[in-house]
Amino acid sequence: MPARNDAAPLPIRLRDYAPPPWRVVQAELDFELGIDASEVGARLHLARDPAQDAPLRLDGEELELLAIALDGAPLPAGRWRYADGVLEVDGARDGSVLETRVRVRPAENTALEGLYLSGSREAGFLLTQCEAEGFRRITFFPDRPDVLARFTVTLRADRARFPVLLAGGNPDGAGELPGGRHWARFVDPHPKPSYLFALVAGRLEKIERDYRTADGRAVKLAIWSEADAIGRCRYALGALERAMRWDEETYGRNYDLDVFHVVATHDFNMGAMENKGLNIFNAKYLLADPDTTTDDEYRAVEAVVAHEYFHNWSGNRVTCRDWFQLSLKEGLTVFREQQFSARMNSPALKRIEDVALLRRAQFPEDAGPLAHPVRPAEYREINNFYTATVYEKGAELVRMLAGRLGEAGFRRGMDLYFARHDGRAATLEDFLAALGEANGLDLSPYLAWYAQAGTPRLTARGRHDAAARTYTLTLAQHTPPTPGQPDKRPLPIPVKLALFDRAGRMLPLRLDGQTSAASTERVVVLAQAEQDFVFRGVDAPPVPSLLRGFSAPVILECDYAPEELALLLAHDPDGFNRWEAGQQLALRAYAALRDGGGEAAVEGWCAALAALFDDAALDPALLADLLTPPGEIELAEREREVDPARIHALRQELQRRLAAALGGERLERHHRKLAADAGAQPDAAAQARRRLKRRVLELLALHDPAAALPLAQRQYESAAGMTDRLAALAVLVRHEAPQALNALAAFRARHAQDPLALDKWFAVQAQIPGEPALARVRALEADPAFTLKNPNRVRALLGSYASGNPSGFHRADGAGYRLLAERLAQLDALNPQVAARLATAFNGWQRLEPVRREQARQALAALAGHGALSRNLAEIVGHLLP
Ligand code: ZN
């Protein structure tokens, strides 16, 4: 008896939160696993909240109810009702035991939520994905994160077809059953919400390592994958061990079970999932070897392995009271992951990478129809809120708090947070209270950051008074309106700053009203709409370095003179702000090209970079990033009316000018020098050289294709690893070089057996700029390897096209929009989560120039009129087309 509540009309609101009237203290689950049908028996030990008088209601979707009993007695039909995703049961008391038996159909589950099949019926395996509300597709349960239960899970299955049986918690026995079947039991001693439940069953291989925690527990670490990929799990295992040590050393957090399993799947809606004791990963974020994995992906594997591991404390031991608090675990865990990655790699590069992501993914979200606070006030479909705002902006908010408290203070606060809320479900208020109380501070003003959407604009003006020897810095803030929030309050904005003299030396800072010793860097907090900060003893007009390390997620507007930016680019020891000064110069050069007449700005930017190009002391990776102007999405954010084709053309021209200023010969020489050591090891120094090599090749290809394309072909053929190979392929494909066809065929043949490499083959072609992209995407949709059923493949082709190729997608004739809208309707019937995510490519359509805007509107209107959209996609389309 299937029941769905897709049509649920009302949004769920934070202010309506009420504690659960019924809890599950203990859950005993029994699975009879099969690919077409699996049966799930559940014995739930219930506790009633004496203060509430509500009937027992359990969530359940698309469940076929086979049997139901209360306190040992089968329940007759009149004593229960199952409709619209809710099972209501009469007669339950505090201490009652409810038993249900249901059937679910894994092979038919194309939504990849609940229990489903990864891979083929013959060779694939069964697995679960429950966050946020997938558990209700497995059995009846109060499927909300503030219900924490002890889980005992018994799995039974055919031994030949499912030799490996895994669930979260500690192993608690296994054995044979008649008829070639076997069983395994797992007991999780830590109470957990249902979204952290997981099981995996099938033919899988593992690599293992023994780990001893700082507090002395022996832990078996195991990474599992299908046999063909087991050789690519080593790197992740090492990353896991590094993450475990780091969390012990940095936060005093030890692992708390006897086993820690991680499983790779090619069929996954998201990146990875932190199920207690049994993490499940999109293979893209777990498998790695030099032949198939790029350097960027290596870093992503390390970061995601760490992220999911860190959730064991920030998310699992202390979980979220409700889904509005999602950033409590995600923002905090992204921040912890960023700290870890900075420690393992270069802190400056990591910061640049994170801020670039924030600007490319979160700022546009905050500026468009999908804008929402880090803690949303309402939602219709929670899966739509796993966003850059909740994750990345949420991490920036934790970073501000950590900066406010200092390293030792933040640690004190985190210790109190973990101790106070261990084994419980918490709120963002709880988090701020613990951090504040441990430090004798009131952090509640920062709550406003969690409630208010939109990116604040921070303006800075400086005034030097020679007679008084003072420098007055006036900071002001303004946050533009967002949907549903017309009026914004001022927020506390920590601005880390330094002042430079004209020779590039940092000045001691003596702030008005402050007596303690002067340092050369400090944080001022702008708490009001506008404030003055007066620095004393300043002899000459200084150059301010503001928002160092990107100390707050805001857009800084400061009218620097170009030579001031050049000074910061040359001298700022803050690696992030150094890069940022270069980005500001690039933005001015871009604006000069666009508006005409500003030759000096273009030449200034090029000259500043040319001066750094042969600086042997500069990290090659930082140089590569300095040589990269802001991307097309970031540029579009600064326009009132967006014409993506024009932005693409102008940005290409800007880079051509840079390449010309550097000179073809110099670029070629540099490429040759970097190509000389053509290994593929993923260590930081080698990664940095490859990053610069790619940038140099890209610039050369813009300046002198006749020289660059043969070079790219040679690099393709001789590449020792995926980073160099893919960089060369991308240059050939994007320039539509005659050599591209052969290279694509060679790539396809070489990596025919590897879905992750094949995804790159699709993605690189989906990113051909401009008009030709659409025809290529259409042709690739007809490729036998393309399927709407695999999320990675969909993201590789359609995601890369719609979200990663502005000039290809935003065609003036609207054909890109129509293609996407048609696919969304088809995909939505299979996998609503992935469809809704893909639809966010339409974000920002209202700011397109009029011709494209009208085309986008029509495509969206056609999609909206389609009728049978999922709750997921309907919510996104509803926001896009108000
Ligand atoms: Zn997470």
Give the pair of three-digit tokens for residue 313: 């404390």
Mean pLDDT of 41-58: 98
Report CA(767)–ligand 1 centroid distance (Å): 28
Question: For residue 232, which of 868, 722, 696, 867 has the smallest C-alpha distance?
Answer: 722
Predicted local confidence at residue 769, as pLDDT: 98
pLDDT bracket for residue 1 (50, 70, 90): very low
Report CA(329)–ligand 1 centroid distance (Å): 7
Residue 784: Cβ-neighbour burial (10 angstroms; 0-12, 13-18, 19+) = exposed
Report CA(386)–ligand 1 centroid distance (Å): 9
How many Å apart are CA 134 and CA 114, to the nearest integer? 5
DSSP state of 848: B
Report CA(310)–ligand 1 centroid distance (Å): 9
Quick: pLDDT tens for 665-696.
999 999 999 988 768 888 999 999 999 999 99
pLDDT bracket for residue 513 (50, 70, 90): confident
Quick: pLDDT tens for 284-321.
999 999 999 999 999 999 999 999 999 999 999 999 99
Reply yes or no on whether the pLDDT at 721 is more than 80: yes
Mean pLDDT of 814-842: 98
Report CA(233)–ligand 1 centroid distance (Å): 21
Average pLDDT over the chain, rounded to whole? 97
pLDDT bracket for residue 362 (50, 70, 90): very high
DSSP state of 391: I
Predicted local confidence at residue 598, as pLDDT: 82
823 and 788 in contact (C-beta within 8 Å)?
Answer: yes
Reply yes or no on whether the pLDDT at 162 is more than 90: yes
Report CA(330)–ligand 1 centroid distance (Å): 5
Mean pLDDT of 342-366: 98
Which of the residues 308, 392, 632, 668 is marked catalytic?
A: 308
Predicted local confidence at residue 9, as pLDDT: 61
Q: What is the 3-state composition of the chain as percent helix, strand, coil, each rounded to the nearest 5?
A: 45, 20, 30
Reply yes or no on whether the pLDDT at 6 is more than 60: no
Mean pLDDT of 103-123: 98
Report CA(275)–ligand 1 centroid distance (Å): 11
Reply yes or no on whether the pLDDT at 4 is more than 70: no
Report CA(320)–ligand 1 centroid distance (Å): 12
Report CA(318)–ligand 1 centroid distance (Å): 13
Residue 499: Cβ-neighbour burial (10 angstroms; 0-12, 13-18, 19+) = buried
14 and 136 in contact (C-beta within 8 Å)?
Answer: no
Reply yes or no on whether the pLDDT at 5 is more than 70: no
Quick: pLDDT tens for 423-445.
999 999 999 999 999 999 999 99
How many Å apart are CA 169 and CA 151, to the nearest integer? 8
Mean pLDDT of 265-279: 99
What ipTM score was computed for the predicted complex, to two decimals?
0.98
Please say if 308 is a catalytic residue: yes
Question: For residue 661, which of 713, 623, 712, 612 has the smallest C-alpha distance?
Answer: 612
Report CA(59)–ligand 1 centroid distance (Å): 24
Give the pair of three-digit tokens for residue 418: 């973990």
Predicted local confidence at residue 518, as pLDDT: 79
Report CA(311)–ligand 1 centroid distance (Å): 7
Reply yes or no on whether the pLDDT at 252 is more than 50: yes
Share of the chain above pLDDT 90, in %: 96
Place of tokens 């590897």: 754
Quick: pLDDT tens for 768-793.
999 999 999 999 999 999 999 999 99
Share of the chain above pLDDT 70, in %: 99
Mean pLDDT of 623-640: 98
Predicted local confidence at residue 554, as pLDDT: 98
Predicted local confidence at residue 122, as pLDDT: 97
Report CA(375)–ligand 1 centroid distance (Å): 15
Predicted local confidence at residue 827, as pLDDT: 98
pTM over cut 0.80: yes
How many Å apart are CA 411 and CA 215, to the nearest integer? 18
Question: For residue 840, which of 297, 195, 375, 383 has the smallest C-alpha distance?
Answer: 383
Mean pLDDT of 520-543: 97
Reply yes or no on whether the pLDDT at 87 is more than 90: yes
How many Å apart are CA 178 and CA 372, to the nearest integer? 55
Report CA(340)–ligand 1 centroid distance (Å): 14
Question: For residue 232, which of 244, 221, 243, 224 has the smallest C-alpha distance?
Answer: 224
